[in-house]
Amino acid sequence: MRKACLVALLWLLCATAGVEPALAGEPWGGIISELKVGALWHDPGDLWSGFRREPESIDINIEALLAPSAAFLGGRIRPAVGGSINTDGGTSKGYVDARWEIETPSGIFFGLGLGAAIHDGNIDPIDPSKKALGSRMLFHIPAEIGWRFDGHNSVSVYFEHISNGYTQNSNEGLDSLGARYGYKF
């Protein structure tokens, strides 16, 4: 199942980026605004998801912030598409969000999002090494704070939470926390 999620994520990113760059005279045809990649601590303790934990491991996170955007509360809202692939058999996920981000003149930025995630973990409490997430589709809530040190490059601390928001009997939720590098086109 994890291989299928990885293939689907790569296909989605390639399909999004596959527009001929010459269409808009910009990289990726003007569709992708920024690409981010990072390493996240999979299911750290003492965060939002305080239930049983999956084994400690690393998630590789890849995300594309898309170019369409709208001004909102001093920042911008834009679509984000991404995924986190677990390196040690834990739960992996793909997601789509509406992401709000605000940036200061010094390059410090803060972002919040809300969207949906699909995962390859347990739905019911059948495997004690994985959390019971209750449903295949979950809410995805990311938060990020970082610094854009020139017009293109950034580093950030990134947090994401997935859960079904108590819409199902099982709702153990899953958190990830780590660092990312971003390149803005």
pLDDT given for residue 28 in this prediction: 55
Nearest Cα to Cα of residue 3 among 85, 75, 114: 85
Neighbours of 51 (CB within 10 A): 13
User: Which residue is associated with the tokens 């598409």?
Assistant: 81
β-pair partners for 74:
none
Give which of 113, 120, 116 is closest to 86, Cα–Cα. Answer: 120
pLDDT in tens, the chain (185 residues): 444 444 344 444 444 444 333 334 455 557 999 999 999 998 887 766 656 777 789 999 999 999 888 999 999 999 999 999 999 888 999 999 999 999 999 999 999 999 999 999 888 877 777 788 999 999 999 999 999 999 899 999 999 999 999 899 888 889 999 999 999 98
CA atoms of 53 and 1, how far apart (whole Å): 20
CB contact burial 154-181 (16+ within 10 A = b; e otherwise): bebebbbbbbbeeeeebbbbbbbbbebe
| Residue 181, pLDDT score | 98
In the chain the domains, ranked by start, together with CATH numbers, are 2-184 (2.40.160.20)
Q: What's the pLDDT score for residue 90?
A: 87
Residue 81 is encoded by which pair of tokens?
A: 């598409």
